[in-house]
Structure 1
Amino acid sequence: MQAAALLNLLQFASPALPIGAYSYSQGLEGALEAGLVTDAASAGAWITRQLHDVVAQWDAPVCWRLMHAFSRRDADAVAAWSERYLASRDTAEFRAESLQMGYSLSRLVAELGIADPDMAGMLPPETETTLPVAYACAVAALDIPPQEALLAMLFAWAENQVLVCVKSVPLGQVAGQRMLLSLRDEIAAAARHAQQVADDDMGNWAPALSLLSMRHETQYSRLYRS
């Protein structure tokens, strides 16, 4: 990677990016409440399973296709995958999560002026822009290589999941970093799968996760918004 692209990637994959990712657990807090995650071993198993069964099977392949669509200036493909991804958010929390972070990131892209008018014009209305769409737009606008951007997206997802575990299992900081280190091969495998999976083989069928998300909406004590 060129130094400029690497620095752009580090900035837009950083936990310091002001889009509110730290306030969501993506169902993990519901799993903690249900007793499905209780220690480092069960936390690692939960993250790995969700990474391969949901993120690598749907979120990452959609993001991969969106990055290439923005690079080609293919507005029809951007619109199609944007609509499919939004329709796949099957609970109120999951939908609100992606829309809130997508809105925040799209506003940041606009305020920083990094996307040319044609590329910015391919974004859906702000109230319908999900996180993968806004991220893909930023990646294409900054000329970040898609493969590295995909790895960064998956690492950021895993890092956020580990941070939830550090705070809520709870795990120590060293245990959290050990878990993140152990996930590197899994993340690399997920990235490879996301680039190769055919459109007809993609999907986010995870009914137990959806049920946990719906229960979390009325969970009495919680730290996270999903």
Structure 2
Amino acid sequence: MHARALLHLLQLASPSLPIGAYSYSQGLEAALDRGLVRDQAGARAWIVDALHHVVARFEAPVLWRLLQGFATRDAQAVADWNERFLAARDTAEFRAETVQMGYSLGKLALDLELGDDQLRDILQAQAEIALPTAFAHAAVALDVPHEAALLGALFSWAENQVLACVKSVPLGQVAGQRMLLSLQPEIESAAAEAMQLGDDGLSNWSPGLSLLSMQHEVQYSRLYRS
């Protein structure tokens, strides 16, 4: 991996990227409110389960296909997977989350004029842009290798979950970094699974998480938007 591509990936996966990721917990806050997550061990177990049973089986494989679609300039493939991802968001919060962050990252990429005209046209052709679609566009436009982009996206997701735990469990900063370090093998495993899953193997079946998300919509006190 060339130094420039690595630097591009670091910027793309940075928590300072102005897309609002810090304002979402993806159901974790609801789990905390209901006592399903109480301490460091429970927080790590929650993140690992979400990573392997939700992200690695649907969100990451879709990102992998979107990376390939943009790389080959296959506008139909990008449109299809973008639409499927949006359709798979089964609560109002989860759908609003990916649309808001996808819009923000897509606008940033266009403002920075990332990629060639064909890449930008494919992105702009989407009526609503899911976050994986905007991320795939930016990664391809910046010549980030696909496997590295996938790992970067997974690490960014895990880091955001850990930061939510640091603020809300709460955990100390050292404990948070220790947890993030311990998650690296899990992230590698999730990426490997995402790259090899066939279309028929994709699934976002997670009814417990969906129920927590719906309960979060009416939760009395909230720090996060999901």
| TM tier, smaller | over 0.9
The 3-state SS of whatever aligns with 1:83 is helix
> Which residue number corresponds to residue 47 of structure 2?
47
Cα distance in 1 between the residues matched to 2:86 and 2:6: 29
> Which residue number corresponds to residue 62 of structure 2?
62
Output the amino acid matched with 1:186: E
> Which residue number corresponds to residue 15 of structure 2?
15
Cα distance in 1 between the residues matched to 2:120 and 2:59: 21
Structure 1 residues 199-214: aligned runs within 5 Å: 199-214=199-214
* CA 127–171 in structure 1, closer or farther in 2 if over 3 Å, else same: farther
- Cα deviation 1:110-161 (Å, max 9, x = unaligned): 0000121111111255651010000000011111000011001000000000
Output the amino acid matched with 1:168: S
Output the amino acid matched with 1:99: V
Cα distance in 1 between the residues matched to 2:138 and 2:124: 14
133-142 or 113-122, which deviates more: 113-122
The 3-state SS of whatever aligns with 2:222 is coil
Output the amino acid matched with 1:31: A
Structure 1 residues 173-184: aligned runs within 5 Å: 173-184=173-184
Output the amino acid matched with 1:192: A
Q: Say if 2:79 and 2:126, in contact at 8 Å, map to a contact too.
A: no
Output the amino acid matched with 2:112: L
The 3-state SS of whatever aligns with 2:123 is coil
Structure 1 residues 126-205: aligned runs within 5 Å: 128-205=128-205
Instruction: Give the TM-score, by structure 2 length.
Output: 0.98
Cα distance in 2 between the residues matched to 1:127 and 1:183: 35
Runs of 5+ unmatched residues, structure 2: none
Q: Does 1:36 align with 2:36?
A: yes
Cα distance in 2 between the residues matched to 1:204 and 1:106: 24
Q: Say if 2:70 and 2:119, in contact at 8 Å, map to a contact too.
A: yes
Q: Say if 1:29 and 1:224, in contact at 8 Å, map to a contact too.
A: yes
Output the amino acid matched with 1:8: H
Runs of 5+ unmatched residues, structure 1: none
Cα distance in 2 between the residues matched to 1:95 and 1:125: 19
- Cα deviation 1:87-126 (Å, max 9, x = unaligned): 0000000000000000000000000001211111112556
- Cα deviation 1:161-184 (Å, max 9, x = unaligned): 000000000000011011111111
- Cα deviation 1:15-61 (Å, max 9, x = unaligned): 00000000000000010011000000000000000000000000000
Q: Say if 1:31 and 1:37, in contact at 8 Å, map to a contact too.
A: yes
The CA deviation at 1:208 is 0.4
Cα distance in 2 between the residues matched to 1:131 and 1:208: 23
Which aligned runs of 4 or more in structure 1 are off by greater than 6 angstroms? none
> Which residue number corresponds to residue 72 of structure 1?
72
- CA-atom RMSD in angstroms: 0.9
